A and B are shown apart, each in its own frame.
Chain A
Amino acid sequence: MTLNRKISPNVIEIKSIHIKEAQENILSNGIKIYTINASNEEVIKIDLVFDAGINVQDFKSQANFTCKMLSEGTSKYSAAELAEKLDFYGAYFQTKNTSEEAIITLYCLNKHLTNCLPFIVKILNDSIFPENDLEILKKNAIQNLKVNEERNSYLVRRAFNQAIFGENTLYGSYSNISDIESIQKEQLVDFYKNHFQKGLKYILASGYVDNETIKIINTYIGSNTFKVYDNIAKKYMAKRTEPTDLYIDKINSVQSAIRIGRRLFNRNHPDFREMQLLNLILGGYFGSRLMKNIREEKGLTYGIYSAIEAYPFDACWYIDTEMNNELCETGIKEIFKELARLRNELIGEKELKTAKNYLLGSFLRSIDGPFSLADRFKILKDFDLEYQYFYEFIEIIKNTTAERLKELANLYLKEEDLTSVIVGTK
């Protein structure tokens, strides 16, 4: 029998999804540790989560520099010695600041865990923020900022966030050179005392995390030196902003960076999950309308996409691309045409089915392996949700209709609500 290559193999739709859920344990001192034990390799990732985000800082860059400086020295070890110790065991130590949290992450092989954790404890108990190291860090940060300011993609993102969230709000705030210059050691010491040393929000451990591993973590982080600390009274003042059009002239650009979008609701809003599907159809995957029209049919750009960025207290949605300065106008016209199509026409049955199947497949990929599972769980924690949220996601996506998506486009993707920012050369 000859093979008929015109006929596609039978496709099985994703019906239900099994998610390996995080387990909750409590360390001796009351700190919660959530674990995802799902690895054949004996490797582990430990996230220590602190209520030390940008939202609790008193000065710009304070949270960020405190975080960066944690590994720059304790009373016993210099920055170089700390790095040497952790590197010696093949470990990776990272600190990350978000608007709401600071996260300290350790990656290592399980066999080195007992060697690495004592240094993490020292960093959390006894960081001294040496002035000399701070000055170098500041200088390098300023130089990096200058390089970033040469990137149109950086400039467009900054201007867009400032425009839609407001310049001095949590999500629209950016440090400039003088903010970095004015950071002082005392400010970091204060922030460390008030936001790291008060305690941890929780711990998230993923990889190979059996009971023995939890015991080891308990020995070091479960001691009375550490407490639980989560300041529930968060301050976030949203600011009202009006849609606007900005053009930033950047001489000698070969291409213009474009970002068009608006403020949106976050995961706690009932329409969020359907908006994810609508966004996907517009610009969220390779087969999206923007990619097909603007890249694959017209060749105007290397890439164009749209995305929802959800934060615990706010969110935004935008379309982002870089294209030839001269083609910009054509490109933007096409973007608005695609938005109008979503508002005025029903999405075809076939296109909707493809998008749904892709989105469910992409969810399946997002729960593959312990670190991906940990990322999913973190989303639930950040937005105060339960696993039910993901199971419902599957149902909501399956059941939503073209009519409903058109309704959402008319509610949330109206031209008059959009802010547009272009960085390039006219």
Chain B
Amino acid sequence: MIKYNQFQLANGLHIIHHFDDSTQLCVLNMLYNVGSKHENPDKTGFAHLFEHLMFGGSINIDEFDTVLQDASGESNAFTSNDITNYYLTLPANNIETGFWLESDRMLSLDFSQESLDIQRNVVIEEFKERYLNQPYGDVWLKILPLAYKVHPYNWPTIGKEISHIENATIEDVKTFFKNFYCPNNAVLVLAGNLDLETCKTLVDKWFAPIPSQNFEKPNYSQEPKQTEARTETVYADVPLDMIVKAYHMPARTDEDYFAADMLTDILGAGKSSRFYIDLVKNKNLFSELDAYISGDVEAGLLMIEGKLSKGVSMETAENAILNTLEDFKNNGVGTNELTKIKNKSETNIRFNDMTVLNKAMKLAYAWVLGDIELVNTEADSYLKVTEADIINIANQILVPTNCSTLYYLSKQNDTK
């Protein structure tokens, strides 16, 4: 059970406070309700590039990191399809420095051309390091445009292509800031050894003076129901063939979301999962085979991906996956299997809630989903799921016309 208080400033900034005196630390987590899905399709990768610029100095503070490090603090951030999340961890008695830093960069960045030039290069190197120079690194660059034809989930947060990042201008940066980085588009979480009264005083002092902004969230189209199986074949310099199957699934706020999550656990989580026992161990068609969900706020993807054992044909491998899915749909979930998955969810939730940083992020994310109490009802949402729910969702989504399949083939096979 995570206890919290919440309140809102006149400028629209929402604040969540969670007190935990078992730690000497305090976390300040600022979530802006903007992600790569809000980008212009011709200027992708921008939300993430912007996240880098947030560390490049703000209107009154030249060096964000030096100030924070002087106060014995540390920070980082991440961007997803849906959100951009910044977090600072400080000794609780230095938390005001966190307020100073975070409020100043909400007030205004210093918008330097030099900072933009450098971070553009850094992000381009990140693009190469993580997506181009890794075996199988470009799988998401390939599968997303196959699965999404109109919804902006069709590009990854790093962007569609390097040129989009290269072409970003300082005007783009200013517009993006004005549109999205305002108190009425954000939630601030304070979690740790900081009492509510001090928290309120500091919030008033540092954030109340920041004006709210009029802004409009860009409209984007919803993905129509997929009606035909989609496939794509690519060849790459990798040692093993890989298959990736992406099925559309319900949004995070849909009650079927939990059943879909549990479905992937039954199929592919751990050494007692169906894929592992049947296809990795017994038949050894795959060296690894996983099932997981993309975990997006809106309708996301249920993913199945595996590397084929040497010598196994793609057709054999794919049929084996499909047979396992059919078998599951026809014969259902075992009672033990269901209890097992529920017990696993409980363990995951309880271990996750061990640190103030995790709790802070979870609270902020629940606000995005529209109900902070989700942090405490999440466990029940998993417990409530029945065998029938899981079979229903499997029958709904694990069908060929709802699937995009990427055949990622090894060039090295050809030469042998």
A residues sitting closer than 8 Å to B (CB atoms) are 3, 5-6, 8-14, 38-43, 71, 79-80, 83-84, 86-92, 107-109, 112, 133, 136, 139-140, 143-144, 146-147, 149-152, 252-255, 285-287, 295-303, 322-324, 353-355, 357-358, 360-362, 364-365, 368-371
- List 5 A-B pairs, minimum CB-CB distance, nearest first: A361-B72, A299-B121, A90-B343, A83-B271, A90-B347
Quick check: B74 and A152 within 8 Å, CB to CB? no
- B97 within 8 A of partner (CB): yes
Q: Given A87-B340, A89-B343, are A5 and B350 also a contact pair (CB < 8 Å)?
A: no
* B107-147 vs A, Cβ < 8 Å mask (1 yes, 0 no): 10000000001111111011011101111100000000000
Q: Given A84-B340, A87-B344, A323-B125, are A41 and B350 also a contact pair (CB < 8 Å)?
A: yes
The CA of A84 and the CA of B280, in the complex, are separated in Å by: 15
Pick the residue among B91, B307, B310 that contacts A364 (CB under 8 A): B91
- B7 within 8 A of partner (CB): no
Chain A contacts of B205 at CB under 8 A? 3
Residue in B closest to A371 when the chains form the complex, CB atoms:
B354
Residue in B closest to A295 when the chains form the complex, CB atoms:
B122
- B213 within 8 A of partner (CB): no
Chain A contacts of B122 at CB under 8 A? 295-296, 299, 301-302
- B96 within 8 A of partner (CB): yes
Quick check: B133 and A136 within 8 Å, CB to CB? no
Quick check: A79 and B25 within 8 Å, CB to CB? no
Quick check: B237 and A252 within 8 Å, CB to CB? yes
- B239 within 8 A of partner (CB): yes
Quick check: B126 and A11 within 8 Å, CB to CB? no
Quick check: A8 and B67 within 8 Å, CB to CB? yes
Quick check: B346 and A90 within 8 Å, CB to CB? yes
Quick check: B72 and A360 within 8 Å, CB to CB? yes
Pick the residue among A83, A88, A112, A370 that contacts B336 (CB under 8 A): A88
- B403 within 8 A of partner (CB): no
- B284 within 8 A of partner (CB): yes
A-B contact pairs, 15 of them (CB 8 A): A12-B94, A80-B271, A83-B276, A88-B339, A88-B343, A136-B281, A136-B284, A144-B287, A299-B119, A302-B125, A353-B70, A357-B69, A361-B69, A364-B91, A368-B355
Q: Given A6-B60, A139-B284, A253-B133, are A12 and B91 also a contact pair (CB < 8 Å)?
A: yes
B residues sitting closer than 8 Å to A (CB atoms) are 22-25, 59-61, 65-67, 69-74, 89-91, 93-94, 96-97, 99-100, 103-104, 107, 117-123, 125-126, 128-130, 132-136, 205-206, 209, 237-240, 270-272, 276-277, 280-281, 284, 287-288, 307, 309-310, 336, 339-340, 343-347, 350-351, 353-355
Shortest CB distance B23–A (Å): 6
Pick the residue among A11, A323, A365, A371 that contacts B89 (CB under 8 A): A365
The CA of A90 and the CA of B383, in the complex, are separated in Å by: 13
The CA of A92 and the CA of B59, in the complex, are separated in Å by: 48
Chain B contacts of A150 at CB under 8 A? 135, 237-239
Chain A contacts of B347 at CB under 8 A? 43, 90-92, 107-109
Residue in A closest to B69 when the chains form the complex, CB atoms:
A358
Residue in A closest to B114 when the chains form the complex, CB atoms:
A297
Chain B contacts of A13 at CB under 8 A? 72
Apart from the given pairs A3-B205, A287-B69, A364-B25, 17 other A-B contacts in the complex at a CB distance below 8 Å: A3-B209, A5-B107, A43-B351, A87-B272, A89-B343, A109-B347, A136-B284, A139-B287, A139-B310, A296-B122, A299-B125, A322-B133, A353-B70, A357-B72, A358-B73, A361-B71, A368-B355
Chain A contacts of B118 at CB under 8 A? 296-299
Residue in B closest to A39 when the chains form the complex, CB atoms:
B354
Pick the residue among A41, A83, A146, A287 that contacts B240 (CB under 8 A): A146
Chain B contacts of A360 at CB under 8 A? 72
Chain A contacts of B65 at CB under 8 A? 286-287
Quick check: A11 and B70 within 8 Å, CB to CB? yes
Quick check: A80 and B344 within 8 Å, CB to CB? no
Chain A contacts of B351 at CB under 8 A? 41, 43, 107
Shortest CB distance A265–B (Å): 27
Q: Given A147-B307, A151-B135, A253-B133, are A11 and B94 also a contact pair (CB < 8 Å)?
A: yes
Residue in A closest to B95 when the chains form the complex, CB atoms:
A9
The CA of A370 and the CA of B307, in the complex, are separated in Å by: 37
